[in-house]
Amino acid sequence: MSTAAKRAVPEPDASKVTKAPRGVVLRTPIPGPRGKAIVERDTQFLMTSTKTAPVVAQSGKGVWVTDVDGNRFLDFTSGVGVLGTGHCHPTVVEAVQKQAQELMHFAGTDFYYDIQVRLAERLAKIAPGKAPKKVFFTNSGTESVEAAVKLARWNTQRPLTLGLIGSFHGRSMGALSLTSSKPAQRRRFNAYTGGGVHIPAPTCYRCPYKLEYPSCDVYCAKILEELYFNTVLPPEDIAAFVAEPVIGEGGYVVPPKEYFQLMQKILKPHGILHVSDEVQAGMGRTGKWWGIENFGVAPDMITTAKALGSGLPIGALVADAKLDYSYQGAHSNTYGGNAVACASSLATFEVFDREHLLENATEQGNHLVKRLKELQAKYECIGDVRGLGLMVATDFVKDRKTREHASKLRDRVEVEAYQRGLVLLGCGRSAIRFIPALVVKEAEIDEAVEIYDQSIAAALKSVGAS
Ligand SMILES: Cc1ncc(COP(=O)(O)O)c(C=O)c1O
């Protein structure tokens, strides 16, 4: 144990510590002295990325994280949707330890090992649709999207991929050309070179066409054929339509239930493939294995990562087997399907089955929505509560009629929440997402909502509905 780890946790400054309910423990202001020192060194040595809150983790269990100053937080971010089975699930930890002792790496693309085949079999079995599937393993979400774009291009020999404005698909150049949830993600990168083109997304709460569902007749899908195909986007130039089943980073937007059926009807006659980006919405997050299953269609490919490995970096492209490359060497990588990551993933599936996590996502998701709707009835500034399963967000507005984004208020609520022991992340321009691990219990949701309630009240006092 290091000297730093042996040091006693500093006594809290009582005047600065916020009172917190039940499981949350706040011993110091956030960050505490040890946390503050790490944040300072991090700022000096790590490049600027997307840091949100000075929560400096030491350990985690389930939906709980303890920081380096002994503060205990409710983690409703689950490492941005990575920890479906929660922090350090014992089954996953044991499987990782066992595999690390046996075989860590052997380049699964160049050689063979059983654990990789077993994981591919499992993924092929649960992928939506009846057609046989094949799997390509990656190391991240963005790499899964790259693999999908490449496979679509290779099969169709077409240059473009079609995405939805406001979506997130990753930050490597091909995926970045589809990513469009914030200008900061694209500015200065020449994000246009990857071949991504976009149409407005089915964002009913703030419809880009100012229409109302269902009288709109899902115009946001129909306009593709009516306008775009006949003007700026010849369909024979488009290899694939790449879309999140629930738009994640862009605001937890759930499309109308017939949207993807309509899109497939438009795309199929032109030979345009459908890629469902399940990196955030997949692996049980919405209460089904894959978000697209909520819409009654089977895509040609799904991309996954995040919760697939319970914290170890692993992703996958699962595609209709007939799209597979016809010769070796077209696509490959070094680490994809790494043995330890595969062990972690197989253990993840074991936990999902044994602890009925899909059912829990639905059950606890319903409870969370019910509790957040109670807050919506209490606070005018919550314009919308939306989501599927345990992929839920509240959208803050300056005015419920105009639905103008209350971005400043949203940012302040996040700060008030972590200072009270609840870790949250924003999404879109004015929403806060709730993505706890799928092992979350009702009492933990109740505690989170209680803290959220206090945080909104404090934020309103501090910045108003701005
Ligand atoms: C839908 C979606 N696709 C792709 C990605 C990129 O994943 P990664 O950050 O692992 O590259 C993300 C990350 O948040 C995502 O939410």
What tens digit of pLDDT does each residue of 175-220 get? 999 999 999 999 999 999 999 999 999 999 999 999 999 999 999 9
**Residue pair 274/239 in contact by the 8 Å Cβ criterion:** no
- Quick one: pLDDT at residue 22? 77
Name the token pair of 131: 């057609």
What does the block give as tokens for 363? 């059950």
How do residues 350-377 score in pLDDT, each as one tens digit?
A: 999 999 999 999 999 999 999 999 999 9
Residues 6+ apart with CB under 8 A from 66: 57, 58, 59, 60, 72, 73
Inside any domain, residue 83 = no
Last residue of a domain, one of 293, 320, 354: 354
Domain shared by 45 and 159, yes or no? no
pLDDT in tens, 233-290: 999 999 999 999 999 999 999 999 999 999 999 999 999 999 999 999 999 999 999 9
DSSP label at 398? Answer: S
What is the pLDDT at residue 12? Answer: 44
pLDDT of residue 15 exceeding 60: no
Helix (H, G, I), strand (E, B) or coil at 219: helix
pLDDT above 60 for 16: no
Q: Are 242 and 191 members of one domain?
A: yes
Q: pLDDT tens, 124-170?
A: 999 999 999 999 999 999 999 999 999 999 999 999 999 999 999 99
Q: Which domain holds residue 416?
A: 3-75+357-463
Using pLDDT thresholds of 50, 70 and 90, give the confidence band for residue 311: very high
What pLDDT shows up at residue 333?
A: 98
Asked if residue 368 and residue 343 are part of one domain, the reply reads no
Q: Is 244 in the pocket of ligand 1 (CB under 6 A)?
A: yes
Task: Give 317's strand partners.
Answer: 136, 303
Centre of ligand 1 to C-alpha 170, Å, is: 5
Give the count of domains, the chain. 2
Residues 247 and 129 in one domain: yes
| pLDDT of the residue at 19 | 52
- For residue 145 and ligand 1, the question of a CB distance below 6 A is answered with yes
pLDDT, position 18: 54
| Percent of the chain predicted with pLDDT > 70 | 95
Same domain, 312 and 294: yes
| φ and ψ of 213, to 5 deg | -85, 140
Q: How far is the CA of 113 from the centre of ligand 1 (A)?
A: 27
**Is the model's pTM score more than 0.85?**
yes
Regarding whether 317 and 177 lie in a shared domain, the answer is: yes
| Residue 372 · residue 381 · CB < 8 Å | no
Rounded distance from Cα 159 to ligand 1 centre (Å): 22
49 and 179 share a domain? no
Judgement on whether residues 147 and 12 belong to the same structural domain of the protein: no
Kindly give the pairing relationship between strand 64-67 and strand 57-61.
antiparallel
Decide: 169 in ligand 1 pocket, CB within 6 A. yes
Distances (CA, A) of 345 to 119, 283, 321, 329: 7, 11, 22, 26
Cross-strand bridge partners of residue 66: 59, 72
Q: With respect to residue 156, please indicate whether it lies within any of the assigned structural domains.
A: yes
Asked whether residue 81 is domain-assigned, the answer is no
Give exposure, 147-179, as e/b (b: 16+ Cβ within 10 Å): bbbbbbbebbebebbbbbebbbbbbbbbbbbbb
Q: How confident is the model at residue 21 (pLDDT cuts 50, 70, 90)?
A: low
Is residue 68 predicted with pLDDT exceeding 50? yes
Structural domain contains residue 26: yes
**Residue 448 falls inside a structural domain:** yes
Task: Give the residue among 280, 137, 165 at the shortest CA–CA distance from 228.
Answer: 165
Mutate to test the pocket of ligand 1, among 306, 308, 317, 435 (most ligand atoms within 8 A of CB): 306
pLDDT at 9 over 70: no
pLDDT score of 14 more than 80: no
* Mean pLDDT of the region 86-94: 98
Cβ atoms within 10 A of the Cβ of 102, count?
Answer: 11
List residues bridging with 67 in a β-sheet. Answer: 57
Supply the CATH number for residue 395's domain: 3.90.1150.10
Note whether residue 302 is domain-resident: yes
- Strand pairing of 72-75 and 422-423? parallel
pLDDT value at position 8? 46
What CATH number should be reported for the domain holding residue 257?
Answer: 3.40.640.10
Query: Per the domain annotation, does 364 fall within a domain?
Result: yes
Q: Among 295, 319, 354, identify where a domain stops.
A: 354
Question: Which amino acid is present at 131?
Answer: A
Say if residue 67 is in the same domain as residue 96.
no
> Please, what is the Cα angle at 156 between 152 and 162, to 5 degrees?
55
Same domain, 190 and 337: yes
Among 354, 388, 423, the domain-final residue is 354
Q: In this predicted structure, what is the pLDDT of residue 328?
A: 97
Res 176: pLDDT: 98
DSSP secondary structure string, 2-65? -HHHHSPPPPP-GGGPPP--TT-B--SSSS-HHHHHHHHHHHHHS----------EEEEEBTEE
Q: Are residues 264 and 121 in the same domain?
A: yes
pLDDT digits (tens, 9 = 90+) for 402-423: 999 999 999 999 999 999 999 9
Instruction: Please tell me whether residues 350 and 371 are part of one structural domain.
Output: no
At residue 367, the pLDDT reads 98
Is 85 a member of any domain?
no
Identify the bridge partners of residue 138 per DSSP, sorted by sequence position.
315
278 lines ligand 1 (CB under 6 A): no
How much is the pLDDT for 78?
97
Shortest-distance Cα residue to atom 16 of ligand 1: 280
